[in-house]
């Protein structure tokens, strides 16, 4: 499977997501390669006269949205987000997600839960029978005492915890925090794990997105598949 093929599947999922966008909407704009495809596709709608406003989850996304003609709301506004659209690093059969590979998980989660509808775009390789194993769980932590926080995460998960680095230095989120990637063989109960992790002082947010996704759009070699979450 080539990167070109995967890019095409992401693009097809992004184009399908345009069906959920209506004139005058406020959109939550995710971060990463699949979200980028969606934002660029939105640019064609804006160029054709559609009026859209957006909430950005990263500086990278803000720059791309500006180039695409999308007016961004201020970070400190109260956002009436109609639809948020983002990618995911893993999705299990219950629509639980791992996100944070790009390091924007905190802002992404704030935007996702603030939206009336959250749409997740992936290529088919991101669908997994269970979370973990092939992708570590990103956890955003404050820098103060981060080694103690990492040790507590290791004790809870019985897994290897690695500080994320970039260009030989600790990776910093846009909020100035660190990310530790937790390499777990299998996450059997994402909801329980997420709750337990939030009891550890120093953890800002986890990359587990539980009961967030309303629509899953998957680009596959056979075409685009769309699924809707069913909840009580």
Q: Binding site for substrate, residues?
A: 31-34, 86-89, 99-102, 126
Distance CA(173)–CA(105), nearest Å, equals 9
Annotated catalytic residue within 37, 60, 108, 225: 108
- Name which of 80, 91, 65, 143 is nearest 117 in CA terms: 80
Distance CA(102)–CA(99), nearest Å, equals 8
Distance CA(171)–CA(103), nearest Å, equals 8
Work out the angle at residue 15's Cα, subtended by the Cα atoms of residues 72 and 210, and round it to the nearest 5 degrees.
Answer: 70
- Clarify whether 108 is annotated catalytic: yes
Distance CA(208)–CA(82), nearest Å, equals 22
β-bridge partners, 205: 140
- Which residues participate in the annotated binding site? 31-34, 86-89, 99-102, 126
Residues acting as catalytic residues: 108
């Amino acid at each position: 499977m080539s990167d070109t093929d995967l890019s095409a599947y992401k693009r097809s999922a992004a184009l399908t997501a345009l069906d959920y966008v209506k004139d005058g909407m406020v959109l939550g704009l995710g971060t990463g390669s699949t979200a980028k495809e969606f934002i660029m596709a939105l640019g064609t709608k804006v160029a054709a006269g559609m009026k859209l406003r957006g909430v950005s989850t990263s500086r990278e996304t803000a720059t791309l949205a500006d180039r695409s003609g999308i007016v961004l709301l201020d970070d400190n506004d109260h956002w009436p987000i109609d639809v948020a659209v983002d990618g995911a690093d893993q999705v299990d059969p219950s629509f639980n997600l791992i996100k944070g590979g790009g390091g924007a998980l905190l802002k992404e989660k704030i935007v996702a839960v603030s939206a009336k509808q959250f749409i997740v775009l992936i290529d088919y390789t991101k669908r997994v029978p269970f979370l973990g194993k092939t992708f570590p769980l990103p956890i955003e932590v404050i820098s103060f005492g981060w080694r103690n926080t990492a040790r507590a995460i290791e004790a809870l998960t019985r897994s290897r915890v690695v500080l994320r680095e970039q260009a030989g230095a600790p990776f910093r989120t846009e909020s100035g925090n660190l990310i530790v990637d937790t390499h777990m063989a299998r996450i059997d109960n994402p909801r329980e794990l997420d709750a337990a992790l939030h009891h550890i002082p120093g953890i800002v947010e986890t990359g587990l997105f539980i009961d967030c996704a309303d629509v899953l759009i998957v680009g596959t070699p056979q075409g685009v598949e769309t699924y809707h979450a069913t909840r009580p």
